[in-house]
Chains A and B, each alone.
Chain A
Amino acid sequence: MPHIAEGLLHAHVDGALAPDDPEWIAAEAHLEQCDACRRRLAEVRQLQAAVGGILAGADAPGAERPAFDELVERARSRREEDRAGAAIRGRPRWWRSPAKLAWAASLVLAVGAGWMGRALLVSPDVSPSVPEVQQADVLASDRLTDARAEEARSPAELGAQARPGGQAAEPAPAVADDRALRGAAEAEEAPSDDRAADADAAAAAAERDVPERARMQASPPAAEQQGFEAKAGATVRCYVAGEAGGSTELRLSPDGSVRLRLDDVLYVGFWEPGGPGELSLRLSDGGPWLDLGLRETDGAIRGILAPSSLARTLTLVPAACGGG
């Protein structure tokens, strides 16, 4: 029999082999005759001990663990939150369904009808299952709360608003619910990367609350305005702030995702063309979803992001897409 495989030696030293394991029985027979393998076995034991010692050197003093009952209680509220969240968590999926076009149209109509500057907040659908997001939620929502005078509206209600003018509004709720239920788990996963980035951005935003802190510059936007491919669906469309100062970038991707960087806060979400020259966006910085209508006129994009302490009129002009 050839010399014993390294992995087998380790498995034996780790006690992972059954007593009647045929491979080890053969190996033991070999050991009786092979000095080299006996040495290797001893070496593996030493190696295992050395590793234990190395890792133990990093140990930090332990502390009391929280009472088990405390965790049970937290789990109970978590379960309730998860259930509540699941009912509306499918919204990003729903957003992509054809029925929502009617809703998006209603949003843009509302924007066009003089609601400019009045973003519609919907109830939080971000389940605080990731601790970082939880913390960021607190940071972000503190600043949003003061401005949050509007009541939260469910998309179904807004869909109802569209009914007079919308075409496919009738089947909308059924399709939406179905997709929401089916999409709940998947939607939760898809934006998770973005949500982590959002929480990160929300934390960055909180830094700005201290006025004397130097503002962290996001990667500088393209200085020159350049032409851009108008072919929607094929290219990423990028815009930067038209007025001097402030770092503002908008990036619309063909897959329907959008990134808006506004003063080092990163909003991520979904976009949809509305009526002619109009865009609907649904954005989050880690907090509740914000809905925003933008208008394209004369090659620039204009809109208002509100409510938040960032409320301002955006004017963005086409730009070359930066990296990242």
Chain B
Amino acid sequence: MSVDWAELYETTWDDLVRYLDRKVWDVERARDLAQEAFVRALAAEADIDNPRAWLFTVAGNLARDEARSAGRRRRHLQLLQGENRDRVEDPTGTENVEHERRRAAVQAALEQLSERDRDILLLWDAGLSYGEIAAQSGLSPGAIGTTLARARRRLVEAHEAVEGGHDAAHS
């Protein structure tokens, strides 16, 4: 059964970019990586059984590679080459400080979760079903509910802690 990649591209693109953005915290980079995931899917010689799960798996791997020094150093390099480049390119950066702060708070809260819990939560939020998440993570569907339960509680607690700190500092 062949996959309608054009349609999948249309319906999954936003979710994939958002998923990646919440891992690399760089929207431009998230778009690049999302494109890369699709290119790999289209270039794959073998048939892909569960295309959405596959896409998110590839995206997760790309994001993880990004977190290693290669990605960090590349960003440092860009930083050194043009200190104002990010500012110019990122429309929300200087204009919306509050938005940036909110992003940072979400990032800080997410980092309180274990890597697995965080990933499963993000996959769910990206619209994957329990079946697709199970395919991607290797967990049984039963365990996913439990993981999400834990992850959600942890995220809300962590976010409250982060925002509470912010409120305390600003009150």
Interface positions of A (Cβ within 8 A of B) = 5-11, 14, 16, 44, 47-48, 50-52, 54-55, 57-63, 65-66, 68, 71-72, 74-76, 78-79, 82, 129-133, 135-136, 193, 196-197, 199-201, 203-204, 206-207, 210, 213
Q: Which residues of B contact A203 (CB under 8 A)?
A: 70, 73-74, 76-77
Q: Is the CB of B80 within 8 A of A207?
A: yes
Can you name 27 A-B pairs with beta carbons within 8 Å?
A6-B146, A11-B141, A11-B142, A16-B141, A16-B144, A44-B149, A52-B125, A54-B109, A55-B122, A57-B105, A58-B107, A60-B21, A61-B92, A68-B9, A71-B35, A74-B35, A74-B39, A74-B42, A130-B70, A132-B74, A135-B74, A196-B65, A197-B69, A197-B70, A200-B72, A207-B77, A207-B80
Interface status of B102 (Cβ within 8 A of chain A): yes
A-side binding surface: helix, strand, loop or mixed?
helix
CB-based A-B contact count at 8 angstroms: 158
In the complex the two chains form, what is the Cα distance from A213 to B79 in whole Å? 13
Could you say which residues of chain A place their CB within 8 Å of the CB of B125? 51-52, 55
Most buried by B among A72, A135, A201: A72
Q: A124 to nearest B CB, angstroms?
A: 18
The residue in chain B whose Cβ has the minimal distance to the Cβ of A51 is: B152
- On whether the beta carbons of B17 and A11 are closer than 8 Å, the reply is no
Q: Is the CB of B33 within 8 A of A131?
A: yes
What residues of A have a CB within 8 angstroms of the CB of B130 in the complex? 11, 14, 16
Inter-subunit contact B146/A7 (CB<8 Å) = yes
Q: Are A71 and B39 interface neighbours, CB within 8 A?
A: yes
CB pair B143–A7 under 8 Å, yes or no, is yes
**A-B pairs with lowest CB-CB distance, top 3:** A7-B146, A75-B42, A11-B145
Contact (Cβ within 8 A) A79 B43: yes
Query: B53 at interface (Cβ–Cβ under 8 A)?
Result: no
17 new A-B contacts at CB < 8 Å, known A51-B155, A72-B42, A203-B73: A10-B146, A10-B152, A11-B130, A14-B130, A47-B153, A48-B152, A50-B156, A51-B121, A63-B31, A71-B35, A74-B35, A132-B65, A132-B66, A199-B74, A200-B68, A200-B72, A201-B73
Q: Which residues of chain A are within 8 angstroms of B14 by Cβ–Cβ distance? A: 62
A54 cross-chain contacts in B, Cβ below 8 A: 106, 109, 155-156, 159
Which B residues are CB-close (under 8 A) to A199? Answer: 70, 73-74
B46-85, CB < 8 A from A:
62, 65-66, 68-74, 76-77, 80
Residues of B within 8 A of A193 (CB): 68
Question: Are B40's CB and A129's CB within 8 A?
Answer: yes
> Which A-chain residue is minimally distant from B33 (CB atoms)?
A131
A216 vs chain B, min Cβ distance (A) = 10
Known: A66-B35, A71-B9, A75-B42. A58 touches B103 (CB 8 A): yes
Interface of B: prevailing SS: helix
Q: Among B31, B65, B142, B155, which residue has its beta carbon within 8 angstroms of that of A130?
A: B65
B43 near A131 with CB under 8 A, answer: no
Q: Are B102 and A58 in contact (CB under 8 A)?
A: yes
- Nearest-CB distance from B126 to chain A (Å)? 10
Q: Tell me, rounded to whole Å, the shortest Cβ–Cβ distance linking A265 to chain B.
A: 12
Do B69 and A7 touch across chains, with their CB atoms under 8 A apart? Answer: no
Closest to A58 in B: B106
Cβ-defined contact, B69 with A200, below 8 A: yes
Given A52-B125, A132-B66, A60 and B77 contact (CB-CB distance below 8 Å) = no
| Bound CA–CA A191/B159 (angstroms) | 39
Contact status B149-A196, CB under 8 Å: no
CB < 8 Å neighbour of B13 from A48, A50, A65: A65
Chain B residue at minimal CB-CB distance from A139 = B77
Could you tell me the distance in whole angstroms from the C-beta of B169 to the nearest C-beta in chain A?
18
- Asked if B40 and A78 sit within 8 Å, CB to CB, the answer is yes
Known: A71-B9, A200-B73. A62 touches B17 (CB 8 A): yes
Q: Cβ of B135 < 8 Å from any Cβ of A?
A: no
The reply to whether B156 and A60 form a contact with Cβ atoms under 8 Å apart is no
**Bound Cα distance A127, B64 (Å):** 19
Bound-complex Cα distance A52 to B159 (A)? 12
Q: A47 touching B27 by the CB < 8 A rule?
A: no
- With CB as the reference atom, state the residue of chain B lying closest to A129: B40
- Give Cα distance in the complex from A62 to B18, angstroms: 9
In the complex formed, the residue of A with least CB distance to B34 is A65
Closest chain-B Cβ to A83's Cβ sits at a distance in Å of 9
**With the chains together, A82 CA to B107 CA distance in Å?**
36
- How far is A7 from B151 in the complex, measured between Cα atoms in Å? 11
Residue on B with the closest CB to A193? B68
CA distance A9 to B146 in the complex (A): 9
